[in-house]
Amino acid sequence: MATAEEIISFFGMKPLPEEGGYYTETYRCAEKIARANLPERYTGDRNFGTAILYLLTPDTFSRLHRLKSDEIFHFYSGDPVTMLQLHPDGSSEVITLGRDILNGRHIQVTVPRENWQGCFLNPGGKFALMGTTVTPGFESADFESADREKLLEKYPAQQNLIVQLTPEQ
């Protein structure tokens, strides 16, 4: 099996700004949806869809954030990943992505728009290679970093994971 470094080099992956981990964009639809045909939450035209490859290592994690579009995670290879989703109604889910589907792992997970999300490689893991698909397509203007204190107030049951998935503020 390839190492994280070999995968990063093979795909020409770069550190993912603000969020963490490594990525390379693999698809950006050439067709666009005009701003006038999108919900008000969008500030401009959007591509129909975008996709990336995303890699986590033991020293990286996906910081808690939310998007204005739905995002679908696809698990491809490597070790299990724990994902925290914080829903707008105050509920939460902890999901494990991985290949062992008969033992509760998920190879595909949807993160609905406006859900806070973050994830990390499970302890002892070497890497996880995933992909994400966003529709309408991702633009950096649609990314919002989490405020640790606000999330701790709204989701006290997830204190440990919120602290783990938010940088010092």
Both tokens of 98, joined, read: 């991985």
Residue 100: the pLDDT is: 96
Rounded to an integer, what distance in angstroms lies between the CA atom of residue 110 and that of residue 121? 18
**Residue 90 backbone class (left: φ over 0; alpha: ψ -120 to 50; beta: rest):** left
Residue 169: the pLDDT is: 57
**DSSP designation for 122:** P
Residue 36: CB partners within 8 Å, gap ≥ 6? none
Per-residue pLDDT of the chain (169 residues), as tens digits, is 899 999 999 999 999 999 999 999 999 999 999 999 999 999 999 999 999 999 999 999 999 999 999 999 999 999 999 999 999 999 999 999 999 999 999 999 999 999 999 999 999 999 999 999 999 999 999 999 999 999 999 999 999 999 999 987 5
Residue 11: CB partners within 8 Å, gap ≥ 6? 24, 53
Rounded to an integer, what distance in angstroms lies between the CA atom of residue 80 and that of residue 66? 22
Record: fold of 4-33+44-164: Jelly Rolls (2.60.120)
Rounded to an integer, what distance in angstroms lies between the CA atom of residue 160 and that of residue 120? 13
Residue 168: the pLDDT is: 72
**Domain parsing of the chain, residue ranges:** 4-33+44-164
Rounded to an integer, what distance in angstroms lies between the CA atom of residue 111 and that of residue 90? 15
Rounded to an integer, what distance in angstroms lies between the CA atom of residue 22 and that of residue 57? 9
